[in-house]
Amino acid sequence: MLSCYGEFWRNTTTLAADFSQAVHVPGIEEPVRTGGRFYFAAPDQFRWDYTAGERQTVVGDGTSLWIHQHELEQVYRLDYRRAFGGGGLVALMGNTDLLESRYRSEVLESDGQLVTLHLEKAPVSEHAAAETVEVVLRQPDCRPVSLQLTDAVGSVTRMELAGLELDTVLAEGLFHFEVPAGVDLIEQPDASDSEAASPAGTGAEGGAGR
């Protein structure tokens, strides 16, 4: 099943979909709900436009991850490889090599049309919880329907995708980001000894900087 999921992404040049997202944080009763539009272009470009809830724009151009928090008038720039070296975005985009090297996978359930793929990443220490990802796939081509990430501290991010459009022509400049005038730019120092949080468990996907 993991190979089928990876094959879907290898055969996809572009993807656009509506998404809804809920982030459940331990100790907080109500989840943070957001939604908007997601875009992907092979091999490694993506964009989240959060239009429901707190307005945000998240752009990955293959080199940097840009998180624009409109109401706060600030932009974060993170190193792309640090931000997405693992976690939810890796699962969402079906990076089979990284998934196989970092996660244990199993099929939880299948009704013939939908399959739930469970991925578990070993905890970083004996006192930490394991990070898990559950991806619901639609047969027969294993396109993603939803993604749920539970991180090591117990926060749960669930993203639902709807109205997938595959291999269409996307607007030029969609994956290019320029810092708007009058907006503060906060840059994360480049480093190789740790990974940053990012969307759907990716900090950006898991709430784009929440």
E strand residue ranges, 56-177: 56-60, 64-69, 74-79, 103-110, 114-121, 131-138, 143-150, 156-166
Q: Which residues contact 53 (CB under 8 A, 6 or more apart)?
A: 32, 33, 34, 35
- Tell me, what's the pLDDT at 202? 45
How far is Cα 40 from Cα 71, in angstroms, rounded to an integer? 25
Tokens 């090599």 appear where?
A: 97
- Tell me, what's the pLDDT at 188? 81
Superfamily in which the 2-187 domain is placed by CATH: Lipoprotein localisation LolA/LolB/LppX (2.50.20.10)
Residue-by-residue pLDDT tens, the chain, 210 positions: 888 888 898 899 999 999 999 999 999 999 999 999 999 999 889 999 999 999 999 999 989 999 999 999 999 999 887 776 555 566 666 676 777 777 888 998 888 899 999 988 776 656 556 788 899 999 999 999 999 999 888 899 999 999 999 999 999 999 999 999 999 999 986 544 333 334 544 444 333 333
- Tell me, what's the pLDDT at 151? 86
pTM of model > 0.85: no
Phi, psi of 13 (to 5 degrees): -90, -40
The residue count of the chain comes to 210
